[in-house]
Amino acid sequence: MAKRIVVALGGNALGKNLPEQMAAVKITAKAITDLIEAGHEVVIAHGNGPQVGMIQNAMAQLVRSEPENHVPFPLSVCVAMSQGYIGYDLQNALREEMLDRGIDRGVSTVLTQVEVDRDDPAFAHPTKPIGAFMTKEEADALIKERDYDVIEDAGRGYRRVVASPMPKSIIEIDTVLSLVSTNHIVIACGGGGIPVFKTGGHHLKGAAAVIDKDFAAAVLAKQLDADMLIILTAVPKVAIRFGKPDQKELTRMSVKEAEKYIADGEFAPGSMLPKIEASVDFVSSRQGRTALITQLERARDGIDGKEGTVIY
């Protein structure tokens, strides 16, 4: 049966820099078009961890080189910039792949704001990794020079971390719904969305944060009344006791089982944990919804229950 699906693309589907991204989106477009060709309605969300860090570093260098002509770019503006250039590459790759297969449908990137709570405790405890991986020496230099918060990221190196408040609602949801209803493929909530909070009147103010794309995708999927949330990552299945001799991959996992594994600390914060939590949030919101966590190239088979981990 055809489903309305929100697909959350991880960094491995987008590359770490512009040349890598241009190559990666061509592969990503093939996997997404497989879902479209199978008759599913597809809305795409994506991360921007490496890209937003790259943009902010470039802007900081520009300010340092010409301080009299430039002011620092807020992190929310850098998120908006990342939405634009990632969406540009992704929508062009999707359009080309669909036309190559005889599918004539529009693809649109929606610059998307996502409401957060200005009093979210996340602002006092930065946890969201952004930017490139660093050595400990590079990380120590950034802490000293720029007073950045830095963490060791799942054994892969050191990264800067920023606030990651929970998303409340998608500001442009009516626009996304209108495009979906007219048979468009929509790219929305790029980088988790531009984080904003409401101030006096009708003003929306950008927040110095990056929203986790998995949580934003779950909110987007709920507001679109989607049937399925697919979170694409670097591993084929979710595993418990990850990296240990008795590691066990999971094919199916109920919400109740997922909550127990979360309580037992089975999933790494900033890595698999938000994917599981976002899946649980979405699946719990309405009877009959499912989530799938798997690799990009396994997504189509995952919908048929042949690959990945299904949360139900």
Which residues fall within 8 angstroms of residue 109, CB to CB, at 6 or more apart?
83, 84, 87, 88, 90, 91, 186, 187, 188, 190
Q: How far apart are CA 30 and CA 32, in angstroms?
A: 6
* Burial readout 244-260 (b: 16 or more C-beta within 10 A, e: otherwise): eeeeeebeebeeeebee
pLDDT in tens, 180-219: 999 999 999 999 999 999 998 889 999 989 899 999 999 9
pLDDT in tens, 73-104: 788 998 999 999 999 999 999 999 999 999 99
- From 128, 191, 237, 308, the catalytic residue: 128
3-state helix/strand/coil string of 85-107: HHHHHHHHHHHHHHHHCCCCCCE
- From 53, 192, 275, 302, the catalytic residue: 275
Q: Both tokens of residue 117? A: 């709570």
Among the ranges given (35-44, 90-99, 174-183, 268-277), the one the predictor scored with the smallest mean pLDDT? 268-277
Active site residue 92: no
Confidence of residue 237 (pLDDT cuts 50, 70, 90): very high
- From 12, 92, 198, 206, the catalytic residue: 12
Active site residue 308: no
Where does the chain show beta strands of DSSP type E?
4-9, 41-46, 107-109, 113-115, 128-134, 149-152, 158-162, 169-170, 185-187, 194-198, 204-206, 228-233, 238-240, 248-250, 252-253, 290-295, 309-311
Q: Check whether 121 has a pLDDT greater than 70.
A: yes
Q: Check whether 40 has a pLDDT greater than 90.
A: yes
Q: How far apart are CA 36 and CA 172, in angstroms?
A: 23
Question: What pLDDT is recorded for position 75?
Answer: 85
Active site residue 275: yes
Q: Check whether 48 has a pLDDT greater than 90.
A: no
Active site residue 12: yes
Question: What pLDDT is recorded for position 51?
Answer: 83
User: What are the distances in angstroms from CA 181 to CA 4, 55, 102, 178, 192?
Assistant: 11, 34, 21, 5, 23
Average pLDDT of every residue of the chain: 90
- From 11, 15, 191, 302, the catalytic residue: 11
Q: What is the percent of the chain where pLDDT is above 70?
A: 96
- Bridge partners of 44? 7, 187
Q: Check whether 68 has a pLDDT greater than 70.
A: no
Active site residue 49: no
